[in-house]
Amino acid sequence: MLSSTIYLWEPEIFTGKVPAEDDSHQVAFELHQQYCNISSHGKTLQAWLLLFSNKICDPQYQAYFSEPTQLWVEKIKQQFAQGIGASVRLDALIQEAENDAVYRVFYETVQETGIGFYEPNYNVWAIGELQSPENAVSNMLQPYLLEPLELKQIQVVEEVKSPLQTGNFDIPHNMAAAEQLISQWFEQQEDTQHLKLDVFNVAHDFISNWGNIGRPELALDTGYRCFLLTQKQLGVFYQLKMVLRKLTISPMLSFAMDFTDRFIPDHLQEQLSERLIFRLRSMDVHQHSIGKHTSEPCFFLTGRWESKDNIQDFFQNLDAYIHFIFSNVGHGKLETLQAWAYGDMPADFTVDLDFRFELMMIALSQDHDYLNERYQFYKQAFAQHNARTRDLGLLEESYTFCQKLIMIVKEAGTGLQPYLKN
């Protein structure tokens, strides 16, 4: 990663003469001292961070940027979320193997946003486009650094349509043919092509071990298929599970993510009675009907699977469901889940959250007051609707668990930033 300290500041704070190269380090330090405690008024630094983090965390560039690099970017985002000054100092880590790629993205972002920066290793100075040394940034990008980063999908992949998209496929008449068809779709779908695919002849689950057998890959073929797509990124383990039991019925879908390792250090995990797991069923996501006070499921993933139209319709809905998941919570992002737990959702859809997960996210936000408020809300609601004794017991267990969770993330310093409700 970056091998030395970097100063960033908003260009509007400085209007003086550009210093000589020999004086630039001292002037940069003085500017930082002067403005680091002044709140940022503009959006320049936020714009720089958005462009910088989006490219480094883009799956298309995973060949250039490892998980530790992405974790470093996440720490910068957390620093910015706490409130930033007009001048920000980034203490970078050293990872020589990725230096050139990170530098390239850093300078490209500087050039696009026109933000002021100083990086002493290369003695480059810039304060907005009008006051930068002529061609300072472009000169840095050549000849010392990499050529422009190349996307993985450099071939014309988008022009190749799968048989499912064109309708040029045979309806599977046995499990082997169905497995081939489904696996081919997963290998071409935009999000799942980056995930690891395992197919077993028995029920299996990487998040919940209940019912698993020791060697699922050795199970006999009895006309059952379990497709598991998994990935671990930024401390979050993702699992998309599809189960096909009968050729005439559409497969069953489930999605889960385990972010225990993201928040709880190994030596503290034994203090928790359960892992931090979120599940999202397709029927939990509802879209609001225009001009109506009702809502309906966003994704229709159940029904017969007996014609090409049935199968194509299923995969179209599956594509939308998977895209919804990974565009909202993929790539280690948990800010969206936090917003959902606080009731902040876009106007066009609603996600039904289990009360246990809602309380968990509030606990990870270290919000004692709101945790107590929501606990009392559910306790009163359950009493009014004569809820089952089991549900009341789950509420009490969840509340106790979340109180413990707040203590642990505070001790470890790993909790989410406090959420500002819209």
* Class of residue 238 by CB neighbours under 10 A (exposed 0-12, middle 13-18, buried 19+): buried
The mean pLDDT value for 121-143 works out to 57
- Tens digits of residue pLDDT in 270-290: 999 999 999 998 889 988 766
- Tens digits of residue pLDDT in 197-220: 999 999 999 999 888 998 999 999
Residue 343 CB contacts under 8 Å (≥ 6 apart), including other chains: 421
- The size of the chain, in residues, is 422
Are the C-beta atoms of residues 207 and 228 closer than 8 Å to each other? no
Q: Which amino acid type is present at position 97?
A: A
- Tens digits of residue pLDDT in 306-354: 888 899 999 999 999 999 999 888 888 888 999 999 999 877 888 999 9
Q: Which residue has the higher pLDDT, 184 or 117?
A: 184
Residue 2 Cα distances to 23, 55, 72, 102, angstroms: 22, 16, 11, 7
**Given pLDDT bands bounded at 50, 70 and 90, which one contains residue 355?**
very high
Q: Please determine, for residue 249, whether its predicted confidence score (pLDDT) is greater than 80.
A: yes
d(CA 338, CA 214): 36
This prediction has a pTM of 0.63
Residue 269 Cα distances to 101, 140, 206, angstroms: 35, 46, 18
87 beta partners? 9
Radius of gyration of the chain (CA): 25
Share of the chain above pLDDT 70, in %: 77
- Tens digits of residue pLDDT in 391-408: 888 999 999 999 999 999
Residue 54 Cα distances to 49, 77, 100, 262, 398, angstroms: 8, 11, 17, 20, 35
**Given pLDDT bands bounded at 50, 70 and 90, which one contains residue 130?**
very low
Q: Please determine, for residue 156, whether its predicted confidence score (pLDDT) is greater than 80.
A: no
